[in-house]
Amino acid sequence: MTRSTRRNFTILAAVAAASTLLAWAVITLNGFSDDSLRIALRLSARISFMLFLVIFVARPLAQLFPGRLTRTLLRERRSLGIAFGTNHIVHLALIACRYTAFPELEYPVSSGIVGGTAYLLILLMLITSFDGPTRAIGPKAWRVLHKTGLYFVGFVFVTTLLPDEGDPFFTFERAWFVVLTVIALVIRMTAWFAQRKNAPQP
Ligand code: HEM
């Protein structure tokens, strides 16, 4: 096993243990119920969202502000991706736990299809974050998979975190999400325009 593969497995195991422990603590402290499972589900998803945002802006930040910190962030993007994928698998485990423990709940089939597709992409991205599978699929397929996955998962976050019909839009919880998402999009678009401007003209 190479050093990088060992490191990736260590990150995976550490994040799996920490996320499971956190979910267990939330459910135990609140008493096992549908409500406590939902609190744990929201918490795991929001941690994933934070990791997702950092991954989303790592490259554009390194382009716009070259320096030690942004270079480190870019170098560690793979580790952050593994942490994201692992943490979000705990979200999946909590979903399975919820609908198994409370079979009377109606499973949301349509969001399950979109969420299932997102999970398929997350799993593929997680597997191809390890050296062997990365080499096996080649750089072109890797780029297509990871770019598609990034945008699809981003789309699911946006649709999940937006208020449902009848919910007030400007709650504190929604505001932080909107602000962070807008900042991330502005960073990405600024880097994209800057790159186009600096590209040699034909
Ligand atoms: C397999 C399908 C999925 C199901 C059945 C599911 C189910 C749930 C449930 C029951 C909650 C708690 C909702 C609440 O109590 O208000 C939740 C929260 C959340 N889920 Fe999932 N989830 C799925 C996949 C995903 C995926 C793939 C993502 C993102 C890529 C995601 C992102 C979120 C977010 C951001 C929240 C927190 C919402 C908030 O804070 O208001 N979920 N999910």
The per-residue pLDDT for range 76-133, each reduced to its tens digit, is 999 999 999 999 999 999 999 999 999 999 888 888 899 999 999 999 999 999 999 9
Give the total number of structural domains in the chain. Answer: 1
Q: What is the CATH classification number for the domain harbouring 112?
A: 1.20.120
Tell me, using a 6 A CB cutoff, whether residue 49 lines ligand 1.
yes
Mean pLDDT computed over every residue of the chain: 93
Could you give the CA distance from residue 26 to residue 13 in angstroms, rounded to a whole number? Answer: 20
- State the Cα–Cα distance between residues 173 and 23, nearest whole angstrom: 20
Arithmetic mean of pLDDT, 11-18: 98
Interatomic CA distance for residues 199 and 193, integer angstroms: 10
pLDDT above 70 (res 170):
no
Residue nearest to atom 15 of ligand 1 (CA): 38
Is ligand 1 within 6 A of the CB of residue 125?
A: no
For the chain, how many residues are written? 202
135-157: average pLDDT: 96
Tell me the whole-structure pTM to 2 decimals.
0.92
Ligand 1 binding pocket includes 84 (Cβ within 6 Å)? no
Confidence band (pLDDT; 50, 70, 90) for 202? low
Residues 89 and 147: their CA atoms lie apart, in Å, by 20
In single-letter form, the type of residue at position 78 comes to R
Q: Residue with structure tokens 């449902």?
A: 164
Supply the range of the domain harboring residue 17.
3-198
Residue 163 predicted with pLDDT over 90: no
